[in-house]
Structure formats: C-alpha cells, structure tokens
C-alpha cells in the first residue's frame, strides 16, 4: 500500500481543503508534516481534531512552534520533529510527498 506525506504550510485560518488529503490518498497510510503557520493546527483543539481524524500521523516542526511561542501548548498526538528528522520523513519515511 502506498504511503503519502502531506507537507502543509498554511495555518488553520487560511484556505486549505483538508478533504483533499482523503481524495488523494483514500484509505492509504497518510501523514502530514506541519511547517510555518500550519503548526497552529497542533495547538488549537478544534482544528487539531479536524486534521488528526484524517491522518495516521501528524508531525510538527519544532523551530516553527518555538518561533510562534506556542511550543508549550502542543496537543497530544502530534509529534514534534527537527529539520533532520523532517528530511528523513520526506526522503525515506513515505512513498510520496505532496505539498498542500
């Protein structure tokens, strides 16, 4: 079964069709890697639930959490990663990477 890593940059208040992930990857294993304002998904309970229910795993870039001063508000179920780990996820962790 193919696995897909979605790269997200936009925050919860910007336009992003989360259903697109299900339309693209269906029932396949899928995860998201959150950069920049997309890290806000990991600290907003309602938005976090919306995202997590669509995915098997969600990773959050530590630098961007810290830059926004919200690293102490992380919701359970999100995995904080640094850039070296992000490279591993992109290059080896999944069969394909799609930027939303």
HEC profile of the chain: CCEEEEEECCCCCCCCCCHHHHHHHCCCEEEEEECHHHHHHHCCHHHHHHHHCCCCEEEEEHHHHHHCCCHHHCCCCEEEECHHHHHHHHHHHCCEEEEC
Stretch that binds another protein, among 5-13, 18-26, 49-57, 71-79 (CB under 8 A): 5-13
- CB 37 → another protein: shortest distance, Å? 9
Closer CB to another protein, 38 or 55, in the complex: 38
- Give the one residue of 3, 9, 44, 75 binding another protein; rule: CB under 8 A: 9
User: Contact with another protein (CB under 8 A): which of 36, 71, 74, 80?
Assistant: 36
Question: Which parts of this chain interact with another protein (CB under 8 A)?
Answer: 7, 9-10, 35-36, 63-64, 82-84, 86-88, 90-92, 96-97, 99
């Amino acid at each position: 079964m193919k696995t897909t890593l979605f790269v997200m940059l936009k925050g919860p208040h910007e336009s992003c069709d989360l259903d697109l992930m299900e339309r693209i990857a269906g029932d396949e294993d899928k995860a998201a890697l959150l950069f920049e304002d997309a890290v806000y998904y990991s600290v907003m309970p309602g938005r976090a639930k919306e995202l997590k229910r669509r995915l098997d795993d969600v990773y959050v870039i530590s630098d961007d959490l810290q830059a926004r001063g919200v690293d102490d508000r992380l919701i359970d179920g999100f995995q904080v990663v640094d850039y070296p780990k992000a490279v591993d996820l992109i290059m080896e962790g999944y069969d394909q990477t799609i930027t939303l």
